[in-house]
Amino acid sequence: MKNEPFEFAELISEYLCNELSKEEEAHLMRIIEKDEHKREILEYYKHTAPVQERLDYMDSLGIDAAWDKVRQRYDRKSGNSRNYSILKYVAVLAIMVSSVALWFFGKTDNKMIIPLAINKHLNDVLPGGNVAVLVLSNGKKVRLDSGKVTLEERDGTHLSGNQGGLAYSNDEAPDKEEVLYNTLIVPRGGTYNLKLPDGTSVWLNAMSELRFPLKFGTKERKVELIGEAYFEVAKNKNVPFKVHTRHQEIEVKGTHFNVNSYADENFDITTLLEGSVKISAPSVPAKFWMLSPGEQAETNKKTGQTLVAMGNMKEAIAWKNGYFLFNDEKLESIMTKVSRWYDVEVVYEGKLEEQSFLGQIERSKKISSLLKILELSGNVHFKISGRRIVVMP
């Protein structure tokens, strides 16, 4: 039957969540009695980690609302009303694979989501880790990916670091004659935590740079960012903390926020989690925007226009918490993030159907885990060749 894979996926998913009626459970038992392969599938997922905890987490992310948005959008485009609830139950199977939860939706009706029909990848790529390079004030570069590092800068600032992070300390008064700068560079396949001299904590994502003074002045605490970083700013009402990107300047006095300012993205995005933030843009120097918790400011790099709206906090800082979190996200956007984190080249072959994905996957997984789940859609396939990922229909 055409819908048999979907029926089985729905039954097994509800079974794992203890949501089957007695009649439905009896129907499932009859199916696996007739089909040894399907019985093996059920047994496999029964002995993996429980799914309910991850489903509860998915509910907290607002997945249902996002799913409804996707459904309504494509219903309007196609003029058809289709049953998408089955796809949600199908997705529960994905939770059981490599601790993944991923929702798929594409334009076509032709879905064949069969978990054990995935091609195995002979090659694999490990995830990124705590890797960074520190550029000192004299231009010397220090790798921070292994072992302990203890340094002293020319102005007496002490630096102590290891594979987990880097901290600065200096109890002396600011140097009025010369301001020394360091730059922390996090390459592809890296992430790193930094504690600035004022006590501010910064987490940098892959392909990011932060330039900062070794001693902040008495009027402002200013840093320069390329890429993405999450800030927990030490409170100081008298000395505002400023983050400068090419298209935004963010001013705070003590708060938590995320800044996404990758050069290859169309927007600079600042998302506020706690406190308040003042946003200005070089293209409109006389104007500024105030953010409240839960809001985000998007500055269009081409037009210079800034829009403020409610944002998805968990999506904004998922990377910092060790996850990829996709919310109605296009495949190309996902693969850009994959390329940065796994330090791989992504190339496309053939014409791919338009697809959107919702869900999460741990960033600590090998790249094959993510690619296998994306392949569950049946509309995209991958080939791993060294550090090159080929994306195919």
Nearest to 178 by CA among 122, 217, 232, 226: 217
Residues whose CB is less than 8 angstroms from the CB of residue 9 and which lie 6 or more positions away in sequence, other chains included: 86, 89, 90, 93, 113
| Angle of helix 36-46 versus helix 4-16 axis, rounded to 10 | 30
- 332: how many CB neighbours lie within 10 A of its CB? 12
**Beta pairing partners, 355:** 106
Q: Which residues of 58-76 are buried (b: 16+ CB within 10 A; e: fewer)?
A: beebebeebbeebbeebee
Q: Choose among 240, 237, 238, 235: nearest CA to 255.
A: 235
- Cα separation, 313 vs 325, in Å, equals 11
Give the DSSP per-residue string, 49-81: --SHHHHHHHHHTTHHHHHHHHHHHHHHHH---
Kindly report whether the global pTM for this prediction surpasses the value 0.85.
Answer: no
| Cα angle 245, 311, 198; round to 5 | 45
Helix (H) or strand (E) holding 129: strand 129-130
Contacts of the segment 25-32: beta carbons below 8 A, 24+ positions apart: none
CA pair distance 376, 62, nearest whole angstrom: 22
Report the relative pairing of strands 241-244 and 221-232 from DSSP bridges. Answer: parallel
Closest CA relative to residue 285, chosen from 269, 261, 306:
306
Parallel/antiparallel/unpaired status of strands 345-348 and 388-392: parallel
**pLDDT tens digit string along 114-133?**
333 333 455 789 999 999 99
* All structural domains of the chain: 4-124 (no CATH), 129-316 (2.60.120.1440)
Give the pLDDT of the chain (393 residues) as one tens digit per residue.
444 555 676 677 777 767 788 888 888 888 888 877 677 667 756 655 445 555 554 555 454 555 455 455 545 544 544 433 334 444 444 444 333 334 333 333 333 333 333 334 557 899 999 999 999 999 999 998 767 888 888 888 888 887 778 999 876 655 556 789 999 999 999 999 999 999 999 999 999 999 999 999 999 999 999 999 999 999 999 999 999 999 999 999 889 999 999 999 999 999 999 999 999 988 787 789 999 999 999 999 998 899 999 999 999 999 999 999 888 889 999 999 999 999 999 999 988 888 888 778 889 999 998 898 888 765 889 999 999 999 998
pLDDT recorded at residue 106: 38
Q: What is the pLDDT of residue 369?
A: 86
Q: What is the pLDDT of residues 330-349, one digit of tens each?
A: 999 999 999 999 999 999 99
Contacts of 366 (CB under 8 A, 6+ apart): 124, 125, 126, 127
Question: Is residue 180 a contact partner of residue 168, using CB atoms and an 8 Å limit?
Answer: no
Instruction: Give the torsion through C-alpha atoms of 300, 349, 205, 137, to 10 deg.
Output: -90
Reading the block at residue 148, the tokens are 């302990």
Q: What is the pLDDT of residue 267?
A: 94
Identify which of 103, 80, 81 has the alpha carbon closest to the alpha carbon of residue 92.
103
Dist. CA 138–CA 196, nearest whole Å: 19
pLDDT at 96: 41
